[in-house]
């Protein structure tokens, strides 16, 4: 497995990973119509813009043949979370790539990049009902920072914010 910085050419692959991951992860948690609206085309447009903007660090996990099986992104915290200056915005893996240590490799690459830019601590949000993701963050050493509610398409969901107060320990 190779972890590398993403390029704008990776937008469609990142979109495909995100859509498949959403379909597998959020079925039964989010309304199906919400999941279905997030198409590969919709996500490709988003990732093309984000990768071109270069405002965040984005890393992809690639198989030996170059196929992207996961990615993560992060940068300066977009909302104030006391004691944290960076945010992990995304981490998505294809279902068949989960449980193999790839997610942790991606987080470590992102953590190193954030530290190089002077960031000290990072947080990530996760739907409270997403037990596998919560266990993953806990296994990676994150602690619960706070709980809140999020309005997603008119539905209210509980979220947990997890954080690493020292990125060097991730």
Task: Answer yes or no: pTM beyond 0.95.
Answer: no
pLDDT 10s per residue in the chain (170 long)? 999 999 999 999 999 999 999 899 988 888 888 888 888 999 999 999 999 998 999 999 999 999 999 999 999 998 888 899 999 999 999 999 999 999 999 999 999 999 999 999 999 999 999 999 999 999 999 999 999 998 877 888 899 999 999 999 88
SS (H, E, C) the chain: CEEEECCHHHHHHHHHHHHHHHHHHHECCECHHHHHHCCHHHHHHHHHHHHHHCCCEEEEEECCCCCEEEEEEEEEEEEEECCEEEEEEEEEECHHHCCCCHHHHHHHHHHHHHHHCCCCCEEEEEECCCHHHHHHHHHCCCEEEEEEEEEECCEEEEEEEEEECCHHHC
Contact between 166 and 141 under an 8 Å Cβ cutoff? The reply is no
């Amino acid at each position: 497995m190779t972890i590398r910085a993403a390029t704008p050419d990776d937008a469609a692959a990142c979109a495909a990973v995100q859509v498949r991951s959403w379909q597998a992860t959020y079925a039964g948690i989010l309304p199906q119509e919400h999941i279905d609206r997030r198409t590969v085309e919709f996500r490709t447009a988003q990732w093309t813009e984000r990768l071109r903007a270069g405002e965040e660090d984005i890393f992809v996990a690639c198989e030996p043949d170059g196929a992207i099986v996961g990615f993560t992104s992060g940068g300066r915290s977009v909302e104030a979370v006391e004691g944290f200056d960076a945010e992990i915005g995304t981490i998505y893996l294809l279902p068949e790539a989960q449980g193999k240590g790839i997610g942790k490799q991606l987080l470590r690459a992102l953590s190193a990049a954030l530290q190089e830019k002077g960031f000290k601590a990072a947080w990530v949000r996760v739907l409270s009902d997403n037990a596998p993701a919560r266990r993953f963050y806990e296994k990676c050493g994150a602690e619960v920072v706070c709980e809140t509610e999020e309005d997603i398409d008119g539905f209210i969901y509980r979220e947990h914010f997890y954080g690493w107060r020292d990125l060097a320990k991730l």
